[in-house]
Amino acid sequence: MRLPQTIERLYLDFDGFFASVEQQATPRLRGRPVGVVPFAGTSRTCVIACSKEAKAAGCKNVMAVDEAKAICPDLVLVPQRPDLYRRAHNALIAEIESVIPVDAIKSIDELTCRLDEHQRHAPEALAAQIKRTLALNVGPYVTCSIGFAANRQLAKMAGKVNKPDGVTIWHPAQMPGPLLAQPLDKVPGVGPRMQRKLAGMGIHDMPALYHLQPKHMRRIWNNVTGERLWYALHGYDIQAPSTERGMIGHGRVLPPEARSLAAAHEIARLLLIKAARRLRRANYYCSGLWVWLAIKDGSWQGSRSLPMVQDDAAVLSALRIVWGQAADQLPKPVTVYRVGVTLTHLTPDSERQGDLFLRDDVLRRRWEAATRASDALNARYGRTVVSLGPWNPPAGGHVGGKISYTRIPSAEDFL
């Protein structure tokens, strides 16, 4: 574990990414407050993302449309276009890599880079070159904020200080002064729940957190994450170990006309097929299905164990069973606002074993062969031409290819 004596990391965060991409792509939106919504034609939803003009007026991401319109009557609502954001992301990454290699893509709108010896001595020039390259080759409406610091975590925090379109440099010689001026909610990993826990221990601000001991932070977090965070805040070059993928899933806010249990099942079925396609592309099998529903005044969840499977027939059969449980347990009628499906307990296909007692290996391999054939046809024609059961995407489309902050959709997600 090293304690760098100079800046070694750049963290780049695009400003209002989805809304700014819409402004770059659509001239009439430029300079206007923009709110990206899941689908058009209703106010009974939320603003997924808003532009810097909308934020300046008081709007926030994940704000109810009616509330956002009350704050900003001129807000222009735009239905999401996830494939546009995927293509914009890829174009922006390519332009940044023409200036500096990207070390890690943290989300669709955030990335980090390691600095070489020359870049460490001229961070302002590097930031200006990145911004100039993006403006010239992609467009001036997709701006970014950039932070420089000794490690990735501090660089991320620095990049949030002067948004939008800012540059902030936290040199180790300046620390911890700039850090101590930040509120606790700016620390990666300190959300509302952790803030409440810290407050209960008398820790209300950054100086109080900073001056704890590493073992104390480990006890607060109940794991090594707290200790790692202590070292990160104190400028050490420390990274969490990589983790194995444990699940693959999709969720969807339902349009008003699809909020019955029967209509929600149809969307859940399409989401599950998309999740199973991702499972196969990643060369995994799953051994479980988890289903989650957001309903009026609460939620419902159910699960089902499976043998090691990856074909559509197996996961859809499990969905029918879990959905039957939901139908039995939920009040009638019920309004479903959101549905999520997740394939769990993943195993690499190289480690897959048949079930000794189920003895379904022959039938399973037939379904797998049929599923691979349908995947190949869909990939060949660039859209879903073959599916197990009807394929009728809901209003707004984007089944499995929706906006994602944590995962960059692939082109195959839009088939």
CATH number at residue 199: 1.10.150.20
Active-site residue list: 110
Find the mean pLDDT for residues 316-323: 96
Find the mean pLDDT for residues 319-337: 93
Query: pLDDT over 90 for what percent of the chain?
Result: 69
What is 212-258 written as a DSSP string? S-HHHHHHHHTSHHHHHHHHHHTT-B--PPP----EEEEEEEPPGGG
CB 265 within 8 A of CB 302: no
Res 140 pLDDT > 90: yes
What is the tally of structural domains in the chain?
3
CA-to-CA distance for 386 and 393, rounded, in angstroms?
14
219-233, 244-258, 334-348, range with the lowest pLDDT: 244-258
Q: Do 261 and 398 fall within a single domain? A: yes
Res 297 pLDDT > 90: no
Res 394 pLDDT > 80: no
Of 156, 171, 186, which residue sits at a domain end?
A: 171
pLDDT mean across residues, the chain = 89
What CATH number does residue 70 fall under? 3.30.70.270
- Residue 220's domain comprises 176-243
Q: Do 113 and 181 fall within a single domain? A: no
Q: Do 271 and 400 fall within a single domain? A: yes
Instruction: Categorize the per-residue pLDDT at 364 as very low, low, confident or very high, splitting at 50, 70 and 90.
Output: confident
Of 243, 274, 300, which residue sits at a domain end?
A: 243
Res 194 pLDDT > 80: yes
Q: Considering only residues 189 and 160, tell me which one the structure prediction assigns the higher pLDDT.
A: 160
Q: Do 161 and 109 fall within a single domain? A: yes
Q: Do 199 and 153 fall within a single domain? A: no
Instruction: Return the pLDDT at 38.
Output: 84
Find the mean pLDDT for residues 99-116: 93
Q: Do 191 and 319 fall within a single domain? A: no
Instruction: Return the pLDDT at 246.
Output: 81
Q: Do 12 and 27 fall within a single domain? A: yes
Of 145, 171, 197, which residue sits at a domain end?
A: 171
Instruction: Return the pLDDT at 210.
Output: 95
Q: Considering only residues 397 and 291, tell me which one the structure prediction assigns the higher pLDDT.
A: 291
Res 244 pLDDT > 70: no
Instruction: Return the pLDDT at 358.
Output: 56
Instruction: Categorize the per-residue pLDDT at 397 as very low, low, confident or very high, splitting at 50, 70 and 90.
Output: low
Indicate the helix (H) or strand (E) that contains 104: strand 104-107
- Report CA dihedral (403, 315, 344, 325) to the nearest 10 degrees: 100
CB 324 within 8 A of CB 307: no
Here the tokens at position 386 are 């073959």
Find the mean pLDDT for residues 380-405: 73
Three-state secondary-structure class, residue 137: helix
Res 238 pLDDT > 90: no
Instruction: Return the pLDDT at 189.
Output: 84
Instruction: Return the pLDDT at 264.
Output: 94
Q: Do 397 and 380 fall within a single domain? A: yes
Q: Do 132 and 255 fall within a single domain? A: no
Instruction: Categorize the per-residue pLDDT at 357 as very low, low, confident or very high, splitting at 50, 70 and 90.
Output: low
Other Cβ atoms less than 10 A from the Cβ of 346: the count is 20
**Spatial CB neighbours of 155, under 8 Å, sequence gap ≥ 6:** 7, 9, 10, 11, 112, 147, 148, 149, 170
Find the mean pLDDT for residues 29-46: 87
Instruction: Return the pLDDT at 413.
Output: 61
Q: Do 391 and 271 fall within a single domain? A: yes
Q: Do 90 and 214 fall within a single domain? A: no
Q: Do 221 and 100 fall within a single domain? A: no
Res 208 pLDDT > 80: yes
Residue with tokens 């009439």: 28
196-210, 244-258, 292-306, 387-401, range with the lowest pLDDT: 387-401
Find the mean pLDDT for residues 209-221: 94
170-179, 196-205, 248-257, range with the lowest pLDDT: 248-257
Phi, psi dihedral angles at 50 (to 5 degrees):
-130, 155
What CATH number does residue 301 fall under? 3.30.1490.100
Instruction: Return the pLDDT at 77.
Output: 94
Q: Considering only residues 117 and 40, tell me which one the structure prediction assigns the higher pLDDT.
A: 117
